Structure 1
C-alpha cells in the first residue's frame, strides 16, 4: 500500500493510504444545469524577485495553461479577482496584462471569462466619490475593450469615501450607466478583506442587502448577476430569493457551496445558485464531474462527488481567510499545474506546514489529487526540505 506522510499541528508525523484519483472525465458537451466559473490564480516565474512589495513577475505560460485546463473541464474562468491576488501582490500593470491575455485565451478556447473591475490602480488611499466613479469607469472600459465580462468588485476606495447607503447608490448608478452590457456585482465580506467593513452602508448583512437590492432594482437590465462572498448561507439564500428574474446568484461561499449550488435539485430549497468560486480552481475536475452529474439528473452522484470537497475547501479558506490563495496555489503545484510552490509577493509562506498537510490529507480523501503519485512526491520532497523525514 502506498502511503502519504502527514504532519500534525504538534509536529508529529503520521501516515495515511494514498487514494487513486477519482473516476472523472472531461465533458463532451457544454455544462447545462449550472453556470460555473473557477476564480483562477497566477503563477510567478520561479527565478523572479516575487518578494513582498515587488511588482508581480508572472510565468505567463503556466498561468494561461491553467486557464486552458479550466476550460477543458467545461467551466468558465473568473480572472483578475481576489484569487489572482488583487490587493495582495498583483499590481495594476500586471492586472491589465492578465485581463488582456486571459481574454485572448478565452477567445482561443471558446470559453467564458469574466474579470474584476475595481479602483485599485489609483495609488492614493483616499479619493472622492467622483474619483471613485472615474476609476471604476476606466477599468470597466478596459475590460469591455478586451471582450471580457465585467465583475464590479467591492472597492476599498468606496468603502473609505462613502458616508452612507446613498453614496453607494450614486456610485453604482453612475458606473452601471457606463456599462455597454450587463455586469456582475461582487459583495466581498470582511473575512476576505477587512477593509471592506460596512460595505453598502451597513455593518449587518440584512441592512446592506437592502441597499444591494435597491441598486439592482434601480438599474434594470444592467446587472447579470450577483456574486456573494460572505461565507454565510443564510444571507445568500435570502438575497437569492429576492433577485429579479434574469439576475443570477453566483455563490462565492467556499464553506457552503454544495447545498447552495445543489439547491432544489438536492432538496435544498426551491432555487439554486450558480458558481463563481476560488474553490473551483482548486478542484476543477471534481467540480466539473459534479455538475455533469446534475446535468444527468443524478443528485446522489452530485453529492457523492462534490460533498467531500467542502471540508477541503473549509481548510483552504480557514481563518485568516484572505490567505486562502496560498492553498489554491499549493494544490495547483501538487496537481502539476505549476513548476514550483511559489506565489507573487512571497505569499506561499502565508500558511504553516501542518495547515498544508491537512490540505493534502483532505484532497486525498476527497479524490481531488489529479495525479496522486506526483502529489505524493512533491509533498514528501517539501517535508524533507523542511527537515522532516518523509
Structure 2
C-alpha cells in the first residue's frame, strides 16, 4: 500500500493512503462540488497549477473513459479524495482511476476528511499545498512544510503557457463562419459545441498578435477558458484590445476576464472560487435563472466596468459576481461560466446558438 501526506502552507500535515504516481506534487488546493465528472475535471486545462479536491465522498466508482477527456491528459497537479473506488462498475469504463493517475504521473491521496478541509478553505481561502506519495521511507515533514510555504502562488506561475497550442491548429473545417480561438487552455467540449454548429475552428497560441489573427480571416474571435490569474496575460490582453471593433469578439471564463481587462476593467481573486456544476446565474434582462458549470478563481470587478462601454448581462445570486457582459455598441460578448457544461447541466447550450446568430448577422452585413 502506498502511503501519502498532504501538507498545507499553514503547517497542517494530513496522513492518508496514496494512489496514482509515487512522488511529490504541489499547487493551490481548490475544491469542486460536482457529484460526477472527475475525469473531465482532472483533464480540464483550467486546473493547471492546482491540486483538485472533490467534496463528494466517493470518487472513481464509474471508472475512466477517454471519451470524457477535456484535453490530452490530466492537467491538475494532484487529487484529494475521501474514498477511492478501486473496483469501478460501468460499461464505458476503460480503466480505474488509480491506474489513470499513475499512467499520467500524477499523485493522489485518499482517506482525507475532505469536508473539514473544504470548510477550512471556505473560511481561510485557497491554500498552497503539497502531496507526497511514498513507500516505506517517510519524507521529512519540516522540509515539506518549508517547500510548501516557498512554492509560487497561482499568480506567480506561467500556467497558460503550459496548456496553449504552440502552433496554428486547424481542428475543424466547417461550412459555417470561421472562428479563430485564442487558446488559453480550451476544453474539448467547447470545440465540440462549435463543431456541432458547423463552424470552422482554428486554434492559435495565446500569445498570437492581432495582426496574425486578422490575417487568418476570421468571422469572429473567441478567447477560451484557461488557468491562472488573467492580469498576468499582458500579451493576450493587448491582443484583445487591438481586436476590439475589428471583429466580433467572444470570451468564456478566462476569456471573459481578458476581454474585461482589455477594455479597462479590473479583476480580483475570489476567496475560494466557484468550482462545481450547480451554480445559479441570473439573466439580467429576463430574470430567468440558469444552473451552470463553473471553474474559476478570479472574477471581474463590477464597479470597474463603468466607463468601459461594457454592461452586465448576467449575475451570480450567491455572491453577485459578474457572470456575463456585452458592449453597448460593439459585437463583444462574454460569460464567466461554462456553457458547454462538461460536466454539468445543459441549461446554457443555447448561448452557442446565440453566438452563431450574432456572427452570421455580422457576416451578412
Determine which structure has greater relative contact order: mean sequence separation of CA pairs < 8 Å that are 6+ residues apart, divided by chain length: 1
| TM-score between both structures, scaled by the size of structure 2 | 0.32
* Greater share of residues in helix: 1
* Greater share of residues in strand: 2
| TM-score between both structures, scaled by the size of structure 1 | 0.31
